[in-house]
Chains A and B, each alone.
Chain A
């Protein structure tokens, strides 16, 4: 039983916090947002230089062989600074598919380019009717010679606008919601038949709806078993959820800090509004919600390594429920305690609230995961 970071992990935290403190305040972020595609290539290069893009990859693949705790540390820091760059899409999700399911050739083709920052990825999974069901797939992949032909539409693909490589889920067999018959494909974003409709998202990130029309890929594009990709998808999405929990803890931590600072300085009736007990107690409840969320983020991080897939899924679902609830409470109360200024684009607090809100609705919302915990037999 040990909740402390190791010496190496502590150094990692210091280095990523240091980088973001220097290069990622709220004003700098506004500039990065205006760059092409909505994020900064210079920052991405800095993340690469510090080795952060190579963290989870095996040393034999050129990475650092770091684990879930290291990803938690980075994601929390990225959350604190409201970072726009596609770490989740590229390193956590894209990297996750390659690490857990990629062939030696696929790893060699993609991992070095991820680590040096020259390539970003996107996970094209969501469909119009699939909502949070990972096995609900209508996009099809049909065999043609040795390769495959992909047809279908994917929506709200995070980093879809900028990604060089897409990881696409497609049905190779069976009906729309069958658990088997789903394949995972590596598709170059500039492949013939891929069209992207890009747009910014509510939280300042960028996504795209992507249409695949007769997109031809080779046999080497398949990650893992083309007829049984779901277990791998579930595993990687569980890691993405875990990473989102950590990002959300960073967002909540900074939201509470910002809000407490604000009510200490904002004066009404001749005194700082933070002297009013109704506001103080709200802030105390936010602290309680944050600590509960932090505990569950750690729980999810540890669960990511559980051997038993069902236990892992239930634990991470439970964490996502706690993060959803705490995030909603802290986000909403942060705006309330800021008052009118909290409603403005100009103040940073609203942007934290928006990112927290979008996280709740990514890879399963609170209700969805509550049902999963309940159906999974619970935690007691």
Chain B
């Protein structure tokens, strides 16, 4: 049994002689194409969607009909470049320069706060650089991802994950600083939630005891409640969320219109060319509300298909994490998974009335360059890691395990893959 799969892995790995120089003993495989396919599928869906509502967007924004689709094509082009960079540049190098990345991200955040692109807009989230504008928080999340994976990998290596002084205290300090800047100064509670979720799941995967995690979760929940109570507009959003139909003409307008768009899509949707809600009824049709527009066009069937694509992407990323060759890369992949999935769930959850509205985009689909570029960069990292994992699919492993009477495949898989170098795992 093992021989069969071993040879199949070898036969593949033979084609890809390792050039990464990342490790001794790691072999390079074909990467997980499914991740790339799912991502490209989502990007194409996003482009088609934005193209199909471009006349509606032009109608409500006063731009030419092709303005949005050209800008999004440009963003997707940049995203592909970002993807190839992060997929090519070895993870070890990203890790080595985590301080530089953090520095640039913090600088960008400070610039966004100090030199607002639009001074009349209170949320200082945008940075203008070389003729392009981007949201500083996306860069910050990316930098935190690298730094935090590095931090946790070191703690795992030194077996100090449980240490209060070594691990817990620095994390709490970092969370306070980040939360203070992003949640309070930039008043971006949505992104703060994404950062906290990302770091929390990374801590969880790094092996923090459940008791500590529970305390951590309670702490975050308490701060979250404070952050909501302290700001009237957040209270209003919560109130709106709890009683959407009572506020349809005021604060709940967007929530109501989103539900109308989703619900009126019915089983099969209005069709690609015949949406209505994008024509000024539903605010942020190209952006935060794009899922509702999609659901209106493609109905229940199309919505489920989109969720399946996301589920497939998440599952493949999780597989990569499970098979990651070392703790750093595993934490990176888990971080990316959490980043993308949290934004997806928060965005869709708000559109179907399960969560309050947040200014959170739908990954790869929403209009907007920054989000697409950084998500593509994040996927690039996962794609790179997927080259070094075992490529036996979980189904075939389970299949093999079942045949062999083995229930727990995770420890066996390392043996199956035969490319795992325990020296690099840092696992205690």
B is a partner of A: no
Taking Cβ atoms with an 8 Å cutoff, the residues of B that contact A are none
